[in-house]
Amino acid sequence: MKKLQWNSFTKKIYIHSSAKKLYHLWATTEGITSWFLREAEYISKTGKKRKQSEPFQKGDSYTWYWHNWDEKEEGEILEANGSDYLALQFGGCKVSITLEEKKDITIVILKQFEIPEDDNSKLELHYGCSNGWTFWLTNLKAYVEHGILLNEKEIDLRGHELAGYQFVNM
Q: What is the pLDDT of residues 88-134, one digit of tens each?
A: 999 999 999 999 999 899 999 999 999 999 999 999 999 989 999 99
pLDDT band for position 51 (50/70/90)?
A: very high
**Residue 148: CATH number of its domain:** 3.30.530.20
The percentage of the chain sitting over the pLDDT mark of 90, rounded to a whole number, equals 78
Residue 77, domain member (yes or no): yes
Domains: count for the chain: 1
| Residue 2 belongs to a domain | no
Residue type, 23: Y
The arrangement of strands across the sheet holding 85-90 comes to 8-15, 105-113, 93-102, 85-90, 72-80, 61-65, 39-43
- C-alpha 140/C-alpha 144 separation (Å) is 6
What range defines the domain where residue 91 resides? 8-166
Question: Phi-psi bin for 53: left (phi > 0), alpha (psi -120 to 50), beta?
Answer: alpha
The 10s digit of each residue's pLDDT in 54-74 is 999 999 999 999 988 888 999
pLDDT score of 151 more than 90: no
